[in-house]
Structure 1
């Protein structure tokens, strides 16, 4: 049994600074940095683990706004600060502005203690001064003028880089842009698909609620639920035995658009960790088969773990580079799922660091890669078969423009349906296009 002294020696705010440095200084993905810390300190009380998650996620999510606030009240701007001091101030100001359960005095005092603990005792007066000045003047914070500087205003208000605000506004209009930015910051319950072959949705709901988990039906997908109020997924029996699989609503809708039938042969060319393949396997029955492919052994092992956990006998995994044509698969698939590497701008709500790492150059590179892969994998589609192209992003270059380019150069295919989902529609920002081979 864990003694209280073990957890009493852990400074949760110090762990949050570790996470922030891993993301902002070392380039780690935020969800992985948070997961690694929570796994290492699994013995911490539920309240402490929730505090670490909330503070680290919130600070990363609101970083542009937090920097703008700090810069109003600090002579030294955030960009000129030592990374540790910037992390301490950012997390401290997040507590002042967004965590009502933390008294202002505690946020200020703990920031000063952290400064000393991290070896910067000479800067404790600076940190103390900035924190207490912001605490006193929280209602005096100035934001850019929404009419005079609309792009900068939205950037600071929703903590999104200005170039992305400009891009979304130009491509989708001001209303869709702001609604999407607001949706990124909303709470995101966990979306799961249910294995209705082994249990009914009603039985699953009753079991989860008995475990104290908050459950909500998914109005867009019949065999899906939203979960919240749990501590760890791998502690839920229904997840461990494969009755539940984490997957966003839009991802499930994409597979439903492809509409694989009983007995179909499906090839998923960039499948890891395997959510679409699992969903398709549950649609095609034992007479069908899903071949889930990805580039590396590591990714294929992830898929195989999910095949085993979900007890799927009609699904296999294979290492294959989607850019290389597989002659053995020529015209073998009733459905090819091409959910391709993309800029990920639709999932900023759950992977917040994406917005800080994206660039116009990366978008252009990814659009070219997507074209290259589509040109190869369309050869696996049978005559009268389906090619599903999808991404979890919101750029015309990677989505509508890519579909148009593909159709212009592949006369044997025709577009049946195309849809861009936005984050305010109850799912990730997501694009899907169903193409039919004549």
Structure 2
């Protein structure tokens, strides 16, 4: 990697201009430089993800030290300031002088010599006075305090406060900033968790058991997933425990036909194909070829013969499959408020109006999904968000408008997960409260 800071600068500019989502942009750079120094790759990843994660806090600090508000700066200068401030405030191993000097060099290299003095002045001033930066006080204005402390837009905090008490809201948004280990699902058909865990540990990976699902592990201290033999050989794949639980609750049996409607990259389909032990069939669909290619890659790596990927628009009714499926999983496009700790772009891109539009889209998909299930079959409705309009209200809408009833899932939950609403057929998992992403799962039976 020629210059990890310059690579980070390019990604931050792309994300700021909304040209690319951060996880895709980061992944593209890491793939390009997969054989570079591990240290450079780790520095690049942390710098991009950290700067985006802390952007609201960083901008709050920048605006105290710069005559030109950061929103008014040119995109390149804004990105340089943000990543410089991130290094000064949050990367103890980086000397402040290096953060300042490298930002100045990049400003000059990219044709902004006349603004390099401005960049230098702001960053050096913050470096000198970082112990005296003033932040909002919790007792003066709780929403502003939470927004700046945890770098979450104020409207999202107010939105959460409509449903949860202040303490729960703080737990949720605090969890978005916690370091995330990578969660893997170990395939039972490839030896199961104990065998796969041993292989990972032989490659000096730190492995911990998952907390909700028997075949889940959490890994850290590795460089690149594709370098791990167990991953390359299709014995495991990346999936959060909330998503595994969703597939587990679907309860597919050997020989059954399962449809997964919006499935990329295919985690729930893979879990199901493994669960039904090579029998039956899992039809794993998504809207674009780009998405189904991700599913195909996973199918090929796992070597599953009872799963296929197909490009299909879930808002269009597929008459061929009416009343054909034993199980339908509808994990629909949603606002993603439950996974903001993993996808930093979400908090800057989503809006209340956008969430209302999503409810319309979700109901379009559900109007078709309910028709694919056989009588007596199962519909799983899930999202990775924390929005009652997209979650409980959509579930109730299905029950009110179609021949479905809620299924009590209390006995199907992991023993360490006690959620009162399980008896009513659904659970809302919350990051910071439960050991997984924010996720909504409802289980319904067609009458």
Residue 119 of structure 1: how far off its partner (Å)? 1.2
Matching of residue 430 in structure 1 with residue 439 in structure 2: yes
2:427 aligned residue (416, 419, 422): 419
Alpha-carbon distance between aligned partners in 2 of 1:418 and 1:268, rounded to the nearest angstrom: 19
In the TM superposition, 1:348-363 aligns within 5 A as: 348-363=340-355
1:388-407 equivalent positions in 2, closer than 5 A? 388-407=380-399
Q: Distance in 2 between matches of 1:303 and 1:113?
A: 42
Task: Rate the CA distance shift 1:412–1:181 in 2: closer, same or farther, 3 A.
Answer: closer
Provide, for residues 387-416 of structure 1, a one-character-per-residue CA deviation record: whole Å limited to 9, x for no partner.
000001111111111111221111443354
Displacement of 1:39 in angstroms is 2.0
After TM superposition, the structure 1 = structure 2 runs for residues 281-296 of structure 1, keeping only pairs within 5 Å, are: 281-296=273-288
Contact (CA 8 Å) 2:403, 2:446: kept in 1 or not?
no
Once residues 345 and 195 of structure 2 are traced to their aligned partners in structure 1, the CA distance between those partners, rounded to angstroms, is 37
Q: Which residue is equivalent to 2:412?
A: none
Asked if 2 retains the 8 angstrom alpha-carbon contact of 1:192 and 1:225, the reply is yes
Q: How does 1:15-414 map to 2 (within 5 A)?
A: 15-414=7-406
* Contact 2:398–2:404 under 8 Å retained in 1: no
SS at match of 1:137: helix
- Alpha carbons of structure 1 residues 124 and 295: separation in structure 2 relative to 1, 3 Å: closer
Distance 1:357 1:422 in 2: 21
- Describe the superposition over 1:178-197 as per-residue Cα deviations: whole angstroms up to 9, x where unpaired: 11111000011111111122
Secondary structure of the 1:423 match is coil
Instruction: Give the ranges of 4+ consecutive aligned residues of structure 1 lying more than 4 Å apart after TM superposition.
Output: none
> Following the alignment from structure 2 to structure 1, what is the Cα–Cα distance between the partners of residues 80 and 311?
43
The normalised TM-score by structure 2 is 0.93
Q: Is the 8 A contact 2:189 2:277 kept in 1?
A: no
In 2, Cα distance between the equivalents of 1:135 and 1:300?
A: 47
* Aligned-residue offset at 1:41: 2.5
1:83-115, Cα deviation, whole Å (9 max, x unpaired):
111111111111111111011111122222222
Return the offset for 1:212: 1.4
How large is the RMSD of aligned CA atoms in angstroms? 1.4
Q: 2-side partners of 1:44 and 1:162: how far apart?
A: 39
Q: Please give the per-residue CA displacement for 1:235-272, whole angstroms capped at 9, x wherever unaligned.
A: 11111111011111100001111211222221111112
Distance 1:125 1:347, change over 3 A: same
- Normalised by the size of structure 1, how large is the TM-score? 0.95
Q: 1:299 to 1:11 in 2, by over 3 A?
A: closer
SS of corresponding position for 2:102: helix
